[in-house]
Chain A
Amino acid sequence: KQEVTQIPAALSVPEGENLVLNCSFTDSAIYNLQWFRQDPGKGLTSLLLIQSSQREQTSGRLNASLDKSSGRSTLYIAASQPGDSATYLCAVDFNKFYFGSGTKLNVKP
């Protein structure tokens, strides 16, 4: 079974800090990788999709990178804000989607 791991499990930072969330996966034969945000008790909001042929994607203050050979992806959040507080999930498409356990982010005002 494919495995997706996210570290750290939780992160608390003061407002304005830049931060990096990590995602690793066991098989480099992926179709794509998506980063999602989930607020408590809510569904998923797609943040960025990186196709297997791409190395990074950017959207506003978010930048996601993909290194298939090493089985890693990072989500970089610049100038964090309290509204960024949520759980961030990495999902890898091995022809089925497998999710990491998530990183719970708290940005303190």
Chain B
Amino acid sequence: GAVVSQHPSWVICKSGTSVKIECRSLDFQATTMFWYRQFPKQSLMLMATSNEGSKATYEQGVEKDKFLINHASLTLSTLTVTSAHPEDSSFYICSARAPVTKGSSYEQYFGPGTRLTVT
């Protein structure tokens, strides 16, 4: 199946600094990527939809000025957490959508996740 990578896999930063997380589709082009956040013992929550060449679409309650998303190419989307605070500590996962080989649907391939700890 298709492969999606994330970098870094974990990061520790100080409160007030910014952190950038990269999501790459390694063997396919993805016009649409998604960013999720997962708090401990909770499920994944969709934060935003990243579209190549256009502005990201944010879910209700997600601050677009705090979580900056850039989908600069068909294989790369980045999430920048600006002025990070301890409450932003979480597991961030991206996914990329690719057509299913048989049928007319799409399948999502997920990156391994990035664990962010803000001290």
Task: Please tell me if the beta carbons of B113 and A43 are within 8 angstroms of each other in the complex.
Answer: yes
Task: Please tell me if the beta carbons of A101 and B42 are within 8 angstroms of each other in the complex.
Answer: yes
B43 CB contact (under 8 Å) in A43, A52, A93, A101: A101
* B54 contacts the other chain (CB 8 A): no
Cα distance A31–B97 in the bound complex, in angstroms:
12
Task: Please tell me if the beta carbons of A43 and B108 are within 8 angstroms of each other in the complex.
Answer: no
Chain A 88-109 interface 0/1 with B at a Cβ cutoff of 8 Å (1 = within): 0101010011111110000000
Chain A 51-91 interface 0/1 with B at a Cβ cutoff of 8 Å (1 = within): 11100000000000000000000000000000000000101
* B112 contacts the other chain (CB 8 A): yes
* A29 contacts the other chain (CB 8 A): no
Residues on B with C-beta less than 8 A from A49 are 100, 105, 107
Residue of B nearest to A53 (CB): B103
Task: Please tell me if the beta carbons of A46 and B44 are within 8 angstroms of each other in the complex.
Answer: no
A34 CB contact (under 8 Å) in B43, B108, B113: B108
Task: Please tell me if the beta carbons of B44 and A32 are within 8 angstroms of each other in the complex.
Answer: no
A97 CB contact (under 8 Å) in B95, B104, B105, B113: B95
Partner-A contacts on B (CB < 8 A):
1, 34, 36, 42-46, 49, 60, 93, 95, 100, 103-113, 115
What are 26 inter-chain pairs, A to B, with CB distance below 8 A? A31-B105, A32-B100, A34-B107, A34-B108, A36-B110, A42-B113, A43-B111, A44-B44, A44-B93, A46-B109, A46-B110, A49-B105, A53-B104, A53-B105, A89-B43, A91-B44, A93-B106, A96-B46, A96-B49, A97-B95, A97-B108, A98-B46, A99-B36, A99-B44, A99-B46, A102-B43
Partner-B contacts on A (CB < 8 A):
1, 31-32, 34, 36, 41-44, 46, 49, 51-53, 89, 91, 93, 96-102
Across the A-B interface, the 8 shortest Cβ-Cβ residue pairs = A51-B105, A43-B112, A43-B113, A44-B110, A99-B44, A32-B105, A101-B43, A99-B43
